[in-house]
A = this chain, B = another copy of it.
């Protein structure tokens, strides 16, 4: 018996295998408030997760008190796949009303044993997490605040526009995170992030509407911000 046939009403017209199709039958969704924790560091890793809507940050707090954000989790992103025993990082919702789907790890693994298609799906989403982390390393590896912030904006434009309903229409992208989050993500100080954004705005590369909405004017200018 194929699990995929048990799927309910997932738009029967298009039957391509999007990640999560089969897994979705196991999902238990929860809604989180702004700043609410989804799981804590050292929490037993009993579930895999996927962001349905909203945004979350995965982070750790160093011994010196500085918060290091490992990555941002946006709609469509799976996370928690690497943890075998306990989660190495904490995860918190960033925006009010973030919805996260949880999949019981053991049951998903057992199901995958009998359903090769699900097994491939899991490997696919895991590979996607690796790709995300590798991109992340490249961004962190850039030198200079302008390069980092530019790369961050390009990453967010890419991830936000491709996964959610065109939030990148004509009015730019809506960043779900604060300047502090961006700073802890890029390993910069808040002031430097603010200065970099101001600099990019003044040279006409981006446009800021309020503080959270960013419209990228010249993609080339951002890509060329090496150093």
Contacts and interface: CB of A to CB of B under 8 A. Distances in A.
Interface of A: 60, 62-64, 66, 68, 70-71, 81-84, 88-89, 109, 112-114, 116, 119-120, 122-124, 126-131, 133-134, 136-138, 140-143, 187, 223-224, 226-227
B133 A137 contact: yes
A16 to B, nearest CB: 15
Interface class of chain A by DSSP = helix
Contact of A123 (B126, B128, B131, B136): B126
Contact of A130 (B133, B141, B224): B133
Contacts of A82: 127-128, 130-131, 134
Nearest to A184: B141
Contacts of A119: 112-113, 116, 119, 123
A146 to B, nearest CB: 12
B136 A137 contact: yes
Given A126-B123, A126-B126, A138 B68 contact: yes
A137 B140 contact: yes
B127 A84 contact: yes
Contacts of A138: 60, 68, 70
Nearest to A88: B134
